[in-house]
């Protein structure tokens, strides 16, 4: 009866903002769990005997699993709905977050011949187990953001999608900003292993609340009346669930899809310096190795600037869509500026002579870069239409390959440059390469047209 009264009123309800609250909290927890290993990295190296290059592989193991299963995760959201898929995602990643804390130092020689290894036989040890657990953590988390893109597309009108995605990415950056502090304080009082257990439990609690409240579509939710449904979807279109993956002809024939994937690859390649090698750069070049709370604040500071950039870029993009009357340029103008500006700041970081100059430039680069992230995800949802999860997953999967390469290549570039290069000069080469990645991403924005959906408007409910 209460539900009927809600649907009869002419004043629009605001259930979509409750949906946004769940999406933002999920995004925050995602990055809290993802970034926490950066803060715990030194403790893990000490307790398990890992080298810097070992940690590079540990960082990339997560990204590898995440990348491989990003498309299936997005596709499942399109087919079965985000509620079911996000439940699976959060439960799985919470389990493997907790399992990260269970790994102890050990080594077991299997005796199986392996002449390509220095040991001559296959050895199963704490390093291999850490790679497996972090890989499966990545598999578990894969599809989270494509499904959130799908949620945004289904629950928000075009003129609010940039803002909603901006809020989601702002929350992700806030998760990254507080992760070093949260993990640092938990590790200091309870140990780094218990910190991972607690984060795993937080994810399970989130799932319980999410399952009780969330629905896949506005017309399924008892708190969303017809007036709000008309705001979300002015022209009522049939909901099409259980559809297949978009045809290869549609994907291959879309220049925008190619450009979005190209942009995602290069921005992820550049950006993954932050959650992996940023502390090592400050230590090697500036001799800056703060302890305790100062370390946690400075490690998370760029993410805090990114939070400001995300919400600003999303709102700015929506405003430009209305002012220009064009989804293409409303999204792309912000994207071009964001990636070029980030690249310039990162390039200048290589020539910073004082640690706080470097930190300021990296924070500014993060802020300007994140102006472009909500428009990129909004474009993926708008171009994908009813395939929003699948297309967003494809874009993020390609971006993941860039993220995989970055943590592995950075230490190798540093170690393999000629001996006469000083440490600051080695890092200048690294930053030049990272800046080049952002500049290539900016070029891709010139070919992204979020006004061109994969299907014609009459068959696309997302118009």
Q: What is the pLDDT of residue 5?
A: 45
Which run of H or of E encompasses 430?
helix 423-445
Q: What's the pLDDT score for residue 332? A: 93
Q: Which of 274, 20, 364, 339 is nearest to 162 (CA)?
A: 20
Host domain of residue 125: 2-234+242-459
pLDDT of 459: 46
Residue 54 pLDDT more than 60? yes
pLDDT, tens digit (0-9, with 9 covering 90-100), for 125-138: 788 899 999 999 98
Q: Which residues pair with 109 in a beta bridge?
A: 123
Q: Confidence class of residue 123 from pLDDT cuts 50, 70 and 90?
A: low
What is the total count of domains within the chain? 1
Above 90 in pLDDT, residue 445? Answer: yes
Instruction: Report the alpha-carbon distance of residue 82 to residue 154 in Å, rounded.
Output: 10
Ramachandran angles phi, psi of 242, nearest 5°: 70, 20
Q: What are phi and psi of 222, to 5 degrees?
A: -65, -20
pTM metric for this prediction: 0.78
More confident residue, 47 or 7: 47
169-183, 205-219, 317-331 — which is least confidently predicted? 169-183
Q: How far is CA 91 from the centre of its chain?
A: 18
Kindly indicate the confidence band of residue 45, based on its pLDDT and cuts at 50, 70 and 90.
confident
Q: CATH number, domain at 450?
A: 1.20.1250.20
Q: Alpha-carbon dihedral of residues 385, 24, 331, 155, nearest 10 degrees?
A: 40
Provide mean pLDDT across the span 254-273: 94
Q: How confident is the model at residue 243 (pLDDT cuts 50, 70, 90)?
A: low
pLDDT of residue 24: 93
If you average pLDDT over residues 393-409, what whole number do you get?
87
Write out pLDDT tens, residues 169-199. 899 888 888 877 787 788 778 888 898 999 8
pLDDT of residue 238: 44
Q: Among 229-243, 321-335, 396-410, which stretch is predicted with the lowest mean pLDDT?
A: 229-243
pLDDT class for 121, splitting at 50, 70, 90? Answer: low
Give the pLDDT of residue 350. 94
Q: pLDDT of 274-288, one tens digit each?
A: 877 887 898 899 887
Q: Summarize pLDDT for 56-90 with one digit per residue, the tens.
A: 788 878 888 888 888 888 888 888 888 999 999 99
**CA distance linking residue 229 with residue 214, whole number of Å:** 15
Q: Return d(Cα 368, Cα 378) in angstroms, integer.
A: 17
């Amino acid at each position: 009866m209460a539900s009927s009264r809600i649907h009869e009123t002419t004043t629009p309800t605001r259930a979509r903002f409750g949906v946004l609250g769940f999406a933002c909290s999920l995004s925050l927890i995602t990055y809290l769990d993802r970034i926490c290993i950066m803060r715990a990295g030194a403790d893990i190296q000490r307790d398990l005997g890992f080298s810097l290059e070992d940690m590079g592989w540990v960082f990339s193991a997560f990204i590898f699993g995440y990348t491989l299963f990003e498309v299936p995760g997005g596709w499942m959201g399109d087919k079965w709905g985000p509620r079911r898929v996000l439940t699976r995602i959060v439960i799985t990643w919470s389990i493997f977050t907790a399992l990260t804390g269970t790994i102890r130092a050990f080594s077991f020689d299997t005796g199986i011949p392996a002449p390509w290894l220095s040991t001559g036989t296959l050895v199963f040890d704490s390093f291999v187990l850490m790679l497996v657990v972090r890989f499966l953590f990545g598999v578990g988390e894969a599809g989270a953001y494509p499904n959130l893109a799908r949620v945004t597309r289904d629950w928000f009108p075009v003129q609010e999608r940039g803002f909603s995605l901006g809020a989601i990415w702002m929350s992700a950056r806030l998760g990254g900003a507080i992760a070093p502090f949260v993990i640092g304080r938990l590790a200091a009082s309870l140990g780094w292993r218990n910190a991972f257990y607690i984060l795993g439990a937080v994810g399970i609690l989130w799932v319980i609340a999410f399952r009780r409240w969330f629905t896949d579509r506005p017309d399924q939710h008892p708190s969303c009346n017809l007036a709000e449904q008309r705001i979300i979807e002015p022209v009522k279109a049939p909901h099409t669930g259980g559809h297949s993956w978009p045809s290869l002809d549609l994907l291959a024939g879309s220049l925008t899809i190619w450009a979005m994937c190209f942009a995602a690859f290069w921005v992820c390649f550049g950006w993954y310096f932050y959650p992996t090698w940023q502390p090592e750069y400050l230590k090697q070049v500036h001799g800056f190795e703060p302890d305790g709370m100062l370390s946690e604040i400075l490690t998370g500071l760029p993410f805090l600037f990114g939070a400001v950039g995300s919400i600003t870029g999303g709102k700015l993009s929506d405003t430009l869509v209305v002012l220009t009357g064009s989804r293409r340029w409303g999204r792309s103008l912000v994207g071009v500026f964001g990636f070029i500006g980030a690249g310039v700041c990162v390039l200048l970081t290589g020539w910073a002579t004082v640690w706080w100059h470097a930190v300021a430039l990296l924070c500014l680069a993060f802020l300007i870069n994140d102006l472009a992230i909500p428009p990129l995800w909004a474009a993926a949802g708008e171009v994908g239409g009813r395939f929003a999860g699948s297309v967003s997953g494809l874009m993020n999967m390609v971006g993941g390959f860039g993220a995989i390469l970055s943590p592995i290549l950075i230490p190798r570039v540093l170690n393999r440059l000629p001996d006469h290069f000083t440490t600051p000069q080695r890092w200048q080469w690294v930053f030049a390469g990272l800046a080049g990645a952002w500049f290539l991403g900016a070029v891709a924005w010139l070919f992204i047209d979020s006004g061109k959906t994969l299907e014609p408007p009459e068959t696309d409910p997302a118009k």
